[in-house]
Amino acid sequence: MNLLLDEVARATARLADAGAASPRADAEELAAAVHGVNRSELHKVADSAFDALFWEYVARREAGEPLQHITGRAFFRYLELRVGPGVFVPRPETEVMVGWALEALRDMDVQDPLVVDLGTGSAAIALSIALEAPRARVHAVEKDPTAYVHANRNVEDLDERDQVRLHLGDLGSALGEFDGSVDFVVSNPPYIPMSEWEYVPRDVRDHDPADALWGGGEDGLDAIRAVERTARRLLRPGGYVAVEHSDLQGNGVYWIFAEENGWRDVRNRRDLTNRDRFVTARLGVP
């Protein structure tokens, strides 16, 4: 066994003892970040190049710091994004919602669809849509100044400044200039109720920004209610919305998009683990 693989194996054991959910993957990702490669390229790292900084990273992960905060990067669909303290780390389950949104956009008879991402965080959703639906014009809204800085860096890094426009503002009142003209609204808003605090993983509740986690109200759905109102204001008749929620909130979110408010074709959709994960709806034609 070469030195690097031996060290990764030792780190895996330490992270497993610390309760990490994916200790081997975490150890490999930390080693890859230290050496400036992807996990699939670890075999290219020479034994002599092994860096003691790796063990500092392992200790931070043992202490509960998110992997992505240590490495400074997160992977989302086809993107590598810069993340860190103050911005929500994008999760794999959100990729399923983005995939559905992209399919819906392709099915629309719209040459240059206008898309709004409410609560963009790192801009993972906005940038994925820009990359995979290159004719879309994407406006992304973020109210937290620190998260906005991360989003702006990612937009600049991926050279998507012409296609993705960032707006510093609240998702409940933003983009009034587009009222009634947007083709698609997508959002991964905060939705965890404070009553669930003790069940949230430590590395999430202690490190992800509070405003990106706790949705407000006894049921945690106040932010989603704000997304519904904004989507109803922004969308043109026939436009679509997709909004993420927890796997226990599907029924509650379904009824937020009520028929009496003009919504049609409301559906709960599932993630890769076959759990309710996001709701989609279409704004009816008057």
Which of 113, 188, 193, 278 is an active site residue? 188
3-state SS assignment for residue 109: coil
The DSSP secondary structure of 160-182, one letter per residue, reads -TTTEEEEES-TTT--GGGTTTE
Q: Tally the C-alpha atoms within 13 A of residue 210's C-alpha that lie toward its C-beta.
A: 3
Which of 50, 54, 76, 88 is an active site residue? 88
Distance (Å, whole) CA 203 – CA 41: 27
Active site annotation includes 88: yes
Active site annotation includes 66: no
- Give the alpha-carbon dihedral of 130, 132, 133, 136, to 10 degrees: 0
3-state SS assignment for residue 186: strand
Q: Are 86 and 147 in contact (CB under 8 A)?
A: yes
Shortest CA distance to 78 belongs to which of 98, 100, 54? 98
Which of 189, 193, 257, 278 is an active site residue? 189
What backbone phi and psi angles, to 5 degrees, belong to 236?
Answer: -80, 160
Tokens 């693989």, residue located? 5
Sheet holding 164-168, edge to edge: 164-168, 137-142, 114-118, 182-187, 235-244, 276-283, 263-270
What backbone phi and psi angles, to 5 degrees, belong to 46?
Answer: -75, 150
- Residues annotated as catalytic (active site), given as ranges: 88, 188-189
